[in-house]
Amino acid sequence: MTMFRVTMYKTKADVWLWDAILNHMTYMISPDYNPPSDRPSANQHPTRDLYLLNVPHRTLIINLIPSNSSSNSSCPLSPVKWCLNEMGSSPFCIRSPTLIPTCLLALLIGVYCSKNISKLPEKFETRWLYQLTFFLFGIMMTSAGILHCFLGDPQRLSLTLRNNGVDSLLVIQILFAIIDAGLTTSVAVSFLFCGLCDINFLDPKSNATRFLLIGSYFIVFVLWTLGVFRQWSWTFHVLYLGVISVSCFIYLLTQLWIKSNRRALPSLLVGGLYGAIGLFAASFAANRICKSEGPFWSQYIGPEFLWFLFSDVSMAFIFIYVIQAHRENKVTIHKCDVDIDVEENPEKY
């Protein structure tokens, strides 16, 4: 749900930068770098936390920084954190604590909506696909909360996870980052499939549609994994901004195409509006939001928080739309049945 910057050094003279998803992460790979035995002191890097992972012929360093930490950005250089036992040897810290309620809310929305959609009549052929989409949303936001709020605390996890000279924290961070990014794109792809099935462009009952959906998920995760490790410059713009925007826009067009759902469209439009505002706030308007909120409040209710919160609101309204549209179809069919009965059996009325 968020953004990161990656820096790779193939040689001392060969450097490139790219921006992509997975907030707070900078990777720097240098064949000539000799890592210290422990993490750098605060005097060496007062605003950065470095983690090391030894791999053959090179060292991988992860630097947790905010996505808008450039010198021209008004956003804070590091996320706010609340710590327990801060003076002890192993304090437990939670970073970006305001994200936790939004992630818990997303999990509740995902589970509740998925469960209620599963209770809809079987004549709603796209039911299983909507159910899967909302469930993936809940899992995605949960992984995002774990990544941003708990795996961002290096001291606690480094003491418990670092074994045999390998920083296991880095491996877990990369794993959750790929899961978070992959599921975010997969949710958008799921909505695309929902729309195409709703207008009968794809058959929701067909095994071919299921295989195509699973194949799309697989391709998304493969591309995200390769994009992270091979430093593809287009990954964020294509897999994040591009796929989410295009998929959700096509879904909106498919629902506008269905005449019987038009009375329920206000809920869908509100949901789409919240989603678009959240995505815009987390990307193009992030610096402006931080500047308007100031350095203190932008740590708590900054662009990332707005993206998480508006995503929850958006999914809630889309769920309302799905329920309203289905119930409307049911009432319309019922009215048609009554009209037919009146014509065929006038003596009963």
Q: What distance lies between CA 163 and its chain's CA centroid?
A: 30
105 in the same domain as 72? no
Domain limits at 15?
Answer: 3-84
**Residue 127's domain is classified under what CATH number?**
1.20.1070
Instruction: Tell me what pLDDT residue 262 has.
Output: 79
Instruction: Tell me what pLDDT residue 285 has.
Output: 83
Domains in the chain, number: 2
27 in the same domain as 113? no
68 in the same domain as 129? no
Instruction: Tell me what pLDDT residue 45 has.
Output: 38
* 348 belongs to a structural domain: no
Does position 335 have pLDDT exceeding 60, yes or no?
no
129 in the same domain as 31? no
63 in the same domain as 132? no
Give the residue with greater pLDDT, 34 vs 287: 287
* 90 belongs to a structural domain: no
Instruction: Tell me what pLDDT residue 47 has.
Output: 33
Residue with tokens 């709703």: 198
134 in the same domain as 108? yes
Instruction: Report the pLDDT averaged over residues 59-83.
Output: 53
278 in the same domain as 201? yes
Question: d(Cα 228, Cα 170) in Å, to the nearest integer?
Answer: 13
Question: d(Cα 340, Cα 346) in Å, to the nearest integer?
Answer: 10
Close Cβ partners of 51 (under 8 Å, ≥ 6 residues apart): 39, 61, 62, 63, 64, 154, 158, 167, 169, 170, 173
* 91 belongs to a structural domain: no
- 63, HSE (Cβ side, Cα atoms, 13 Å): 18
Does position 41 have pLDDT exceeding 80, yes or no?
no
Residue 115's CB is within 10 A of a number of other CB atoms, namely: 12
Instruction: Tell me what pLDDT residue 243 has.
Output: 94
Instruction: Tell me what pLDDT residue 177 has.
Output: 85
Residue 119's CB is within 10 A of a number of other CB atoms, namely: 8
Assign 87 a pLDDT band (cuts: 50, 70, 90).
low
Question: What is this structure's pTM?
Answer: 0.69
* 10 belongs to a structural domain: yes
Domain closes at, from 34, 62, 84? 84
Coil, strand or helix at 8: strand
Chain segment 210-268, per-residue pLDDT in tens: 999 999 999 999 999 998 888 788 888 899 889 999 999 999 999 988 877 778 899 99
Assign 59 a pLDDT band (cuts: 50, 70, 90).
very low
150 in the same domain as 48? no
Chain segment 128-182, per-residue pLDDT in tens: 999 999 999 999 999 999 888 887 654 444 454 455 455 566 778 888 889 999 9
Instruction: Tell me what pLDDT residue 71 has.
Output: 44
105 in the same domain as 68? no
Instruction: Tell me what pLDDT residue 107 has.
Output: 96
136 in the same domain as 186? yes
Instruction: Tell me what pLDDT residue 25 has.
Output: 38
* 89 belongs to a structural domain: no
Chain segment 90-105, per-residue pLDDT in tens: 667 788 889 999 999 9
Instruction: Report the pLDDT averaged over residues 261-276.
Output: 90
Cα–Cα distance list, 98 to 48, 75, 136, 183, 284 (Å) = 21, 16, 22, 22, 22
Phi then psi for 23, rounded to 5 degrees?
-60, 150
Give the residue with greater pLDDT, 22 vs 291: 291
49 in the same domain as 146? no
175 in the same domain as 286? yes
* 324 belongs to a structural domain: yes
Nearest to 125 by CA among 326, 333, 327: 326
Instruction: Report the pLDDT averaged over residues 70-83.
Output: 68
Domain closes at, from 39, 54, 84? 84
Does position 7 have pLDDT exceeding 50, yes or no?
no
Specify burial of residue 250 (Cβ count, 10 A radius: 0-12, 13-18, 19+): middle
Close Cβ partners of 10 (under 8 Å, ≥ 6 residues apart): 29, 31
